Amino acid sequence: MKISIQKKFEQLSQIYTRAFDAEFLNTSMLSVVRAYQQKNIADLEIWTFICAISNYQLSVTKNLIPMMTALMNRLNQENLYYIDLVYHPDKAEQILSSFQWGKHNLGYIHRFFRYPQLIIINNQILTIIKKYESLGKYIEYLYDLALNADPEYPLRYILKNFTEKLSEGLPPDFPRGIIPKFRKDNSTGPMKRLCLFFRWMVRPYPDLQRWNFFDPQHLLIPFDSGIKRVLQRAFKISLRKSAKLEDVLKTTRFLKEINPKDPVKYDFILSRPAIAGYCQKDKDKNFCYYCPLFELCSEAARLPEEGIVKPLSSKHESELFQRFLRLNIKKFDLVETEVPLGNRRADAVLHVKRNGIWVVEVENELNYTAVGQALLYKKLYEDKFNTNVEPVIICGKSTPDIERCCKLDAGIRVLTI
């Protein structure tokens, strides 16, 4: 069934509202950016840029966040700021080569480059800030030019000039890919890390919103293979096998139809399914029920069939539910069990006093099937009664990982008794 633009906007907005739990941010490099104690705005811009260009081809939670957090802590211990490393290469070499993180790691270590290359990037930044005072002042200068030179996509113009400036005078053996480039025909890759840098600096919370001169409608979606897979499956967008900047522009146009003033708002949600492992290359390995885009996705796994759905009939589940009611009965105006929903029955429907309706799945142990049941009950109830309800799983046992997926991504309340 084709979903209207308005429905997409409403559903993405609902997901966005619940998304920015602290645990969500803890899986993003944005957490390190937000934790940084800046010297001034110029310092924050440089730190944010370094975090953005580091954000690829390494695990965010296992490598990047621990490494950048350790660097941040070392700077604090030395009463230094990252901008000091830009102005003082000797100090940069001392710090970037020796700060300890993890059990055995020393210094800035990336899959494709090390601290000497990072010092070279610092020097490229220094060239810019000596002339324009800060990265922000330089970008504002380019933005004013871009509004006339490329009014439909000003950021495209900025990216081209910014990357050219960053590449000026680089050593011939400087690793390719750290600073992306435009080709002679003006084609280029998706420039995800730079688009992410601009998103962090321009958008409101959870981003930083420090560049008020830049209109959020001119941002471009940070794009990689994971978000491409999600967009193709969820929204049937036709994209190249090898992503280019044109795919970024096409995707941003699509997102502008949903939210013209802030098309990149839902980037975190759209990238989440691939990052969390819910949406994988091999569809047989997907965990669609956990995915925050489950209700929007045109290729999501089907909900459980009729024969799989169990009524509240087992002795153990019945006892579990009765124990829950004994502890919580005062919260509800009405309690219904084995509620007919077409050819199926929801385990329970609870009318919460002054606070909506819960459609409940009762299960001895929280598991992936129970998540599917809860989502099925929600859909059937809303279709039948045309009212919004909250899916709830009442269980005797749960695991933190699945419970976190339910809460943050699937939008399911889990109550362990």
Both 82 and 227 in one domain: the answer is yes
- Reported in sequence order, the residue ranges of 239-389 that DSSP labels E, i.e. its strands, are 332-341, 344-352, 357-365
b or e along 139-170 (b: 16 or more beta carbons within 10 Å of the residue's beta carbon)?
beebbeebeeeeeebbbbbbbbbbbebbeeeb
In a domain, 28, yes or no: yes
Q: What is the pTM of this model?
A: 0.82
Which residues make Cβ contacts (< 8 Å) with residue 11, sequence separation at least 6? Answer: 3, 295, 296
Both 252 and 335 in one domain: the answer is no
Both 143 and 247 in one domain: the answer is yes
Write out the residue range of the structural domain in which residue 321 sits: 306-416
The answer to whether 379 touches 309, Cβ cutoff 8 Å, is: no
In a domain, 122, yes or no: yes
pLDDT at 69: 96
Both 220 and 255 in one domain: the answer is yes
Mean pLDDT of 380-408: 90
Residue at which a domain ends, from 216, 250, 285: 285
> 404: buried, middle or exposed (CB in 10 Å: 19+, 13-18, 0-12)?
middle
Adjacent-strand bridge partners of 415: 394
b or e along 62-89 (b: 16 or more beta carbons within 10 Å of the residue's beta carbon)?
ebbbbbbebbbebbeeeebbbbbbbeee
Instruction: Give the Cβ contact number of residue 27 at 10 Å.
Output: 16
Q: Which two tokens stand for residue 124?
A: 């490229």
Is the pLDDT score of 271 beyond 60?
A: yes
Both 271 and 316 in one domain: the answer is no
Alpha helices in 276-353 (DSSP H): 315-328
Distance CA 365, CA 417 (A): 10
In a domain, 296, yes or no: no
Is the pLDDT score of 304 beyond 70?
A: no
Both 340 and 225 in one domain: the answer is no
In a domain, 119, yes or no: yes
Q: What 3 state SS string does 244-258 have?
A: CHHHHHHHHHHHHHH
Residue at which a domain ends, from 234, 253, 285: 285
Both 193 and 78 in one domain: the answer is yes
Query: H/E element holding 416?
Result: strand 413-416
Between these two residues, 322 and 8, which has the higher pLDDT value? 322
Both 257 and 123 in one domain: the answer is yes
**Domains identified in the chain, total number:** 2
Both 403 and 366 in one domain: the answer is yes
> 372: buried, middle or exposed (CB in 10 Å: 19+, 13-18, 0-12)?
buried
Summarize pLDDT for 87-136 with one digit per residue, the tens: 999 999 999 999 999 888 899 999 888 999 999 999 999 999 999 999 99
In a domain, 167, yes or no: yes
Mean pLDDT of 211-228: 93
Torsion over CA: 227, 233, 237, 240 (sign): positive
Between these two residues, 323 and 84, which has the higher pLDDT value? 84
Is the pLDDT score of 24 beyond 70?
A: no
Is the pLDDT score of 43 beyond 80?
A: yes
Instruction: Give the Cβ contact number of residue 59 at 10 Å.
Output: 10
Q: What CATH number did the domain enclosing 406 receive? A: 3.40.1350.10
Could you tell me how many residues make up the chain?
417
pLDDT at 22: 53
Is the pLDDT score of 307 beyond 50?
A: no
Identify which of 320, 197, 321 has the alpha carbon closest to the alpha carbon of residue 264.
197
Residue with tokens 């919004």: 388
Summarize pLDDT for 146-161 with one digit per residue, the tens: 999 999 999 999 999 9
Distance CA 205, CA 196 (A): 14
Distance CA 174, CA 165 (A): 15
* DSSP assignment letter at 63: I
The answer to whether 360 touches 349, Cβ cutoff 8 Å, is: yes
In a domain, 360, yes or no: yes
In a domain, 301, yes or no: no
pLDDT at 5: 67
Q: Which two tokens stand for residue 366?
A: 């929280």
Both 281 and 310 in one domain: the answer is no
Both 183 and 79 in one domain: the answer is yes
Mean pLDDT of 214-221: 97
In a domain, 290, yes or no: no
Q: What is the mean pLDDT of the chain?
A: 88
Mean pLDDT of 224-247: 86
Both 184 and 331 in one domain: the answer is no
pLDDT at 18: 64
- Distant-in-sequence contacts of 141-146, Cβ < 8 A, 24+ apart: 143/213, 143/214
Q: Which two tokens stand for residue 103?
A: 């059990």
